[in-house]
Structure 1
């Protein structure tokens, strides 16, 4: 599910990714992106969250009240892109929806790092 021909779902391991995501979303004014899948998953064997490549999970930006414990093992994680969402912009929420239900997603190429420019 997480790998495609040229990349994997983005692993937001620091807040340095957000300017790149914002620039990408805002440069495409004809597309309204309200949420997008990221590469975080729940490992039910380890009983913890981890990035899809197995990288330890040590940075979080959860929306208040998340992660939700309902069916946590089947959840995908989405980043909220709604500007008017009660201080929830760029915050994460786990979603029980099938990841192929038409959601947007952000990918990164192997070895790609966030831009240091502002």
Structure 2
């Protein structure tokens, strides 16, 4: 591919350019060229439509990340609320038991008091 003088009178391409051109035409993987420090011919720049799609994708990814974070916060709040509800239910059960005990004692006292008043002359 390299010639001393081109047919059109152009000076010959440097060896690195020739290798770069051949490898880039025959392979989409230019890792070898990058590792060797050889500049590769850049592919066509993205069109305006492609650029808009990339921006839209980036915005959607950012929105998705925000929604994921909000979801995690809501899950955490839900767990906290569930724990608070369970704690409130336990406290309610304890208070209900105490109320039943108080009612039983009060009933006993009232019965004793009623019997004491009835037995007096």
The structure, 1 or 2, with the larger RCO (C-alpha pairs under 8 Å, 6+ apart) is 1
User: What is the TM-score with the length of structure 1 in the denominator?
Assistant: 0.15
Larger radius of gyration, structure 1 or 2?
Answer: 2
Query: Hey, which of these two has a bigger chunk of strand by percent?
Result: 1
Query: Hey, which of these two has a bigger chunk of helix by percent?
Result: 2
User: What is the TM-score with the length of structure 2 in the denominator?
Assistant: 0.14
